[in-house]
Amino acid sequence: MRAMQISSDHPLLLRIVDDLAEHGWSQQDLFLPNALTAQLAAECRRRSAEGELAPAAVGRGPAQEIREGIRGDHIQWLEEGDSEPSDCYMQMMDSLREALNRGLFLGLEEFECHFALYPPGAFYRKHVDRFRDDDRRMVSVVLYLNDDWLAEQGGQLRMYLAGEREHDVLPSGGCLVVFLSGEVPHEVLPAQRDRLSLTGWFRRRGEGPF
């Protein structure tokens, strides 16, 4: 897997940069090769089976709380060195970070990322990814890890775009969605089956309150 590096001027990454510059979001249906998607999906399921995923909280610092009426996913943050597939994905994200910095002058310095599993019926109400008291999150990235997803199974990511336009994305394996964290309100609709993803944020460095 380590051989599969992507350079920061790869056409796929430049397309994402162009989309963000023009529209504030990008969807790439075939971002990852199937083999890597399958490995990441297996890792997410293994972590879940071993009880490593925990109910996700809302808010930041002392104000954090578990509120299943707002979001019902279970998550685990990724660390460098966790596994070869996840390191491979992190390296690809580092190339995307360079491409974004070069094309959009965002000054992104860090990437944070977690596995997420939404059990059947779980959802995440409409929200914006940037915290009111902490604006270091600049760009959100979601990679989906689900085989053969059907529209009638639900689980769409619904983005609220300019001009009162809505855009739905099915969480199909290998699909990557990227958007400006402060500018695109979005929600996750409930699904009829487990919904797996890797969700991450590029951040500027800065003094956070926590």
Q: Which residues of the chain form contacts with ligand OGA (CB under 6 A)?
A: 116, 124, 129, 142, 157, 186, 188, 197, 199
Q: Any residues with CB less than 8 A from the CB of 48 and at least 6 apart, and which?
A: 74, 117
The least distance separating ligand OGA from the CB of residue 102, rounded to whole angstroms, comes to: 26
Residue 51: C-alpha distances to residues 46, 54, 63 (Å): 9, 8, 25
Angle at 193 between CA 191 and CA 198, to 5 degrees: 80
- Of 32 and 188, nearer to ligand OGA (C-beta) is 188
DSSP assigned state of 65: B
The pair of three-digit structure tokens given for residue 134, joined into one six-digit string: 């902490």
**Residue the block writes with tokens 């760009």:** 139
- Of 90 and 142, nearer to ligand OGA (C-beta) is 142
- Of 86 and 199, nearer to ligand OGA (C-beta) is 199
The least distance separating Mn ion from the CB of residue 5, rounded to whole angstroms, comes to: 28
The least distance separating Mn ion from the CB of residue 140, rounded to whole angstroms, comes to: 6
CB 47 within 8 A of CB 202: no
The least distance separating ligand OGA from the CB of residue 189, rounded to whole angstroms, comes to: 9
**Does residue 43 belong to the site contacting Mn ion (CB under 5 A)?**
no
Query: Which residue among 92, 99, 100, 129 contacts Mn ion (CB under 5 A)?
Result: 129
